[in-house]
Chain A
Amino acid sequence: AQSVAQPEDQVNVAEGNPLTVKCTYSVSGNPYLFWYVQYPNRGLQFLLKYITGDNLVKGSYGFEAEFNKSQTSFHLKKPSALVSDSALYFCAVRPANDYKLSFGAGTTVTVRA
């Protein structure tokens, strides 16, 4: 069975500093990896995905994520965080041959001005 771990419940950074949200996964076969963001009282919004190809993928709002197969990780990064990036972030994984996504528990990001 597949699973996702987001080891940090909360990440706090100052505006303008780099932001990293960690994610590790376990899945049989090739992984399809996703990051979603949830703003207060809203549904989840897709940020980016890794399917195949370059290990560094770029997504919405200046976010990027690096796939590391040997470490089974897919960390989300942003070079310079904004206060508006404060939200709940979810990592998700599925095997290439199954459409059911498994989500991590989520990481709350707070960016202080």
Chain B
Amino acid sequence: DADVTQTPRNRITKTGKRIMLECSQTKGHDRMYWYRQDPGLGLQLIYYSFDVKDINKGEISDGYSVSRQAQAKFSLSLESAIPNQTALYFCATSDVGSNTGELFFGEGSRLTVL
């Protein structure tokens, strides 16, 4: 089983719908992140959380919200999806005990908003 699991892996939805992407991890890491990948733009940070009570906005948080339900779970919500949120979304974790902050990624959730 993957250490960082994302569900769903693929989702097609319509404009205005609410969507939740879920992430769970078995690595025991405190830090969790949501990134968005668009072709030619690399990865952009949406939100990050350094522990259950800590939520921080990233570079492109508008239109998104997150919930850290437990150390192992971090979900990303789109309250009212729009077509330009069509992208590949990645959850990642890192270990607070690591001085390098190396990220461990899930397999990605591909979202299409029609």
Spell out A's residues near B (CB within 8 Å): 4, 9, 32, 34, 36, 41-46, 49, 51, 90, 94, 99-101, 103-106
CA distance A99 to B43 in the complex (A): 15
Interfacial chain A residues near B45, Cβ < 8 Å:
100-101
Q: How far is the CA of A106 from the CA of B40 in the complex (A)?
A: 7
Which residues of A sit under 8 angstroms from B90, Cβ to Cβ? 43-44
Residues of chain B contacted by A94 (CB below 8 angstroms): 101
B42 touching A105 by the CB < 8 A rule?
yes
Give the complex CA separation of A45 and B3 in angstroms.
Answer: 12
Which residues of B does A touch, CB under 8 Å? 4, 31, 35, 40-45, 48, 50, 58, 90, 92, 94, 99-108
In the complex, the number of residue pairs spanning A and B with C-beta atoms less than 8 Å apart equals 54
Main secondary structure on B side of the interface with A? strand
CB pair B100–A9 under 8 Å, yes or no, is no
> Are A105 and B107 closer than 8 Å at their CB atoms?
no
Check A99/B94 contact, CB under 8 A, given A9-B40, A43-B4, A105-B40. yes
- With CB as the reference atom, state the residue of chain A lying closest to B108: A43
Extra 9 A-B pairs, beta carbons < 8 Å, given A34-B103, A43-B4, A43-B90? A41-B107, A44-B105, A46-B102, A90-B42, A90-B43, A99-B31, A101-B101, A103-B42, A105-B40
